[in-house]
């Protein structure tokens, strides 16, 4: 029968795919069917898978061949499932005014400048420049639309912790086994000095990893202050020293300074002095055990050659701004033009000036920069207002405080680190927009107008903590 079928197909002039191709096709169809089933029944699970892939960068471990790589195909499949749920559910578009408008306007300007102003639509690696930006845009919009309830928002917080734990495991595991960081297709040769092995993770620059971990620490602290004993509080206690150990092993000076600022933020938080001092003690213990190379590198914040090279990168960005202050040189254009604007002084190709504000202004113009700054400013202001309303109810606000401090760390670390496309920031931004679009569920529940999320015997919501003194 098989031979007859083979002869029939060949007689019709049809080509029979190879067995590996058939197996890959069958696997894709099965995965697509699973995605559709999950999208119709548990869309928040599908969103979690999509966000988990962004935060851990596990897709960087997958092979990349052809215009549609395995990682890109997986991202598109998950995104398609999320869109399918939104279309079939008939849910209205949830908008957080004015952040949703500001964010979409910024992304639109960046895309237009990439196609009509930038010297090329692909980067130095041959990839579409706006690909990562569009993925981050979809992340924000998907979190805003699907994380509509306090329960779903709590799941997103926990997903950030789990994803960070995976990232820490990949980074520290590689350092423990080989004594060196990861090597992957995105790492340029000038990431670290030859005699200094810095911890990183698949798809994450060393400095970016340190900054990302610092942004997650306030969320860890929000679970640290939860009353009672729970699995997530225990996880936060275990992760705290591991997180700071990972920051130390990146030898990131920005991460070092930002860690100190986070500790100050924790200390000046208006309650929980005993817990804050315990966190400080753990951090100090990790720092005291740091290798001598760490402190030697910290002492070169303003004197080493890498710092001098960044000055040249800043100067190139300033020259681009002077050449085109209104529209910029096009999104993604900096890496193609850096040596043209500052020839012979910049010895390495760089995709960023290591300053998100200079990068935004140089590539997309003053209008896009103002839109981005307004997006950050209005988000911080809304979080401040929500925290003040919770305080008027004598309710703790550790989750909102965590989001506020994380956004501040993004803005500060962005002065020296190329984190404009950092996925943790966009998940945090999506959570802020989701909370505002659903009229701040934490406040609604605190006022007794909604269900309370429980984690076993201990409440997991921020307002379940003891009221401020």
Secondary structure of the chain in HEC code, one letter for each residue: CHHHHHHHHHHCCCCCCCHHHHHHHHHHHHHHHHHHHHHHHCHHHHHHHHHHHHHHCHHHHCCCCCCCCHHHHHHHHHHHHHHHHHHHHCCCCCCCCCHHHHHHHHHHHHHHHHHHCCCCCECCCCCECCHHHHHHHHHHHHHHHHCCCHHHHHHHHHHHHHHHHHHHHHHHHHHHHHCCCCCCCCCCCCCCCCCCCCCCECCECHHHHHHHHHHHHHHHHHHHCCCCCCHHHHHHHHHHHHHHHHHHHCCCHHHHHHHHHHHHHHHHCCCCHHHHHHHHHHHHHHHHCCCHHHHHHHCCCCCCHHHHHHHHHHHHHHHHHHHCCCCCCCCCCHHHHHHHHCCCCCCCCCCCCCCHHHHHHHHHHHHHHHHHHHHHHHHHHHHHHHHHHHHHCCCCCHHHHHHHHHHHHHHHHCCCCCCCCCHHHHHHHHHHHHHHHCCCHHHHHHCCCCCCCEECCEECCHHHCCCCC
Q: What is the pLDDT of residue 351?
A: 72
- Which residues, listed in sequence order, are joined to residue 454 by a DSSP beta bridge? 459
pLDDT at 307: 57
How confident is the prediction along the chain (469 residues), in pLDDT tens digits per residue?
444 444 444 444 444 444 455 555 666 567 667 666 666 677 788 888 888 888 888 777 766 555 456 667 777 777 777 777 777 777 778 888 899 999 999 999 999 999 888 888 887 777 788 888 998 998 999 899 888 888 889 999 999 999 999 999 988 888 777 666 655 444 444 344 444 577 777 778 888 899 999 999 999 888 877 777 788 888 888 898 889 888 888 888 888 788 878 877 777 765 555 655 666 666 666 556 555 555 566 555 555 555 566 777 888 899 999 999 999 999 988 888 887 877 655 444 567 888 999 999 999 999 999 999 999 999 999 999 988 887 766 555 788 889 999 999 999 999 988 899 999 999 999 999 999 988 877 666 655 555 444 333 333 333 333 333 3
Tell me, what's the pLDDT at 412? 92
pLDDT recorded at residue 452: 45
pLDDT of residue 289: 58
The whole-number pLDDT of residue 356 equals 94
The model's pTM is 0.82
């Amino acid at each position: 029968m098989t031979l007859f079928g083979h002869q029939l197909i060949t007689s019709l002039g049809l080509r029979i795919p190879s067995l590996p191709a058939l197996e890959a096709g069958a696997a894709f169809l099965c995965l697509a069917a699973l995605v559709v089933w999950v999208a119709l029944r548990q869309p928040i699970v599908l969103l979690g898978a999509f966000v988990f892939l962004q935060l851990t960068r596990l897709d960087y471990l997958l092979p990349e061949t052809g215009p549609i790589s395995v990682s890109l195909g997986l991202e598109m499949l998950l995104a398609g499932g999320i869109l399918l749920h939104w279309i079939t559910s008939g849910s209205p578009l949830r908008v957080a005014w004015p952040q949703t408008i500001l964010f979409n306007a910024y992304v639109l300007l960046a895309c237009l400048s990439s196609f009509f102003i930038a010297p090329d639509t692909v980067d130095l690696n041959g990839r579409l420049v706006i690909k990562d930006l569009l993925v981050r845009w979809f992340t924000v919009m998907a979190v805003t639309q699907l994380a509509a309830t306090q329960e779903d928002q709590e799941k997103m917080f926990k997903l950030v912790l789990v994803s960070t734990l995976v990232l820490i495991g990949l980074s520290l595991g590689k350092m423990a086994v080989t004594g060196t960081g990861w090597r992957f297709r995105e790492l340029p040769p000038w990431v670290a000095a030859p005699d200094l092995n810095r911890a990183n993770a698949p798809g994450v620059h060393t400095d970016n990893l340190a900054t990302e971990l610092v942004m997650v620490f306030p969320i860890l602290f929000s679970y640290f202050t939860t009353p009672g004993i729970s699995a997530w509080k225990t996880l936060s206690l275990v992760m705290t020293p591991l997180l700071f150990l990972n920051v130390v092993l990146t030898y990131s000076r920005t991460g070092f300074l930002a860690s100190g600022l986070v500790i100050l933020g924790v200390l000046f938080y208006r309650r929980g002095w005993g817990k804050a001092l315990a966190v400080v003690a753990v951090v100090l213990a990790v720092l005291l055990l740091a290798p001598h190379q760490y402190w030697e590198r910290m002492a070169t914040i303003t004197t080493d050659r890498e710092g001098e090279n960044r000055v040249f990168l800043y100067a190139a960005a300033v020259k681009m701004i002077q050449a085109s202050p209104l529209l910029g040189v096009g999104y993604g254009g900096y890496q193609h033009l850096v040596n043209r604007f500052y020839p012979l002084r910049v010895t390495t190709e760089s995709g960023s000036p290591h300053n998100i504000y200079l990068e935004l202004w140089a590539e997309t113009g003053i209008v896009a920069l103002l839109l981005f700054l307004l997006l950050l400013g209005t988000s911080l202001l809304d979080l401040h207002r929500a925290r003040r309303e919770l305080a008027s109810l004598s309710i703790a606000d550790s989750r909102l405080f965590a989001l506020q401090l994380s956004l501040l760390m993004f803005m500060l670390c962005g002065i020296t680190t190329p984190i404009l496309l950092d996925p943790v920031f966009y998940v945090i931004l999506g959570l802020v927009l989701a909370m505002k679009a659903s009229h701040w569920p934490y406040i609604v529940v605190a006022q007794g107008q909604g269900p309370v999320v429980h984690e076993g015997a201990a409440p997991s919501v921020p307002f379940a903590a003891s009221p401020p003194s």
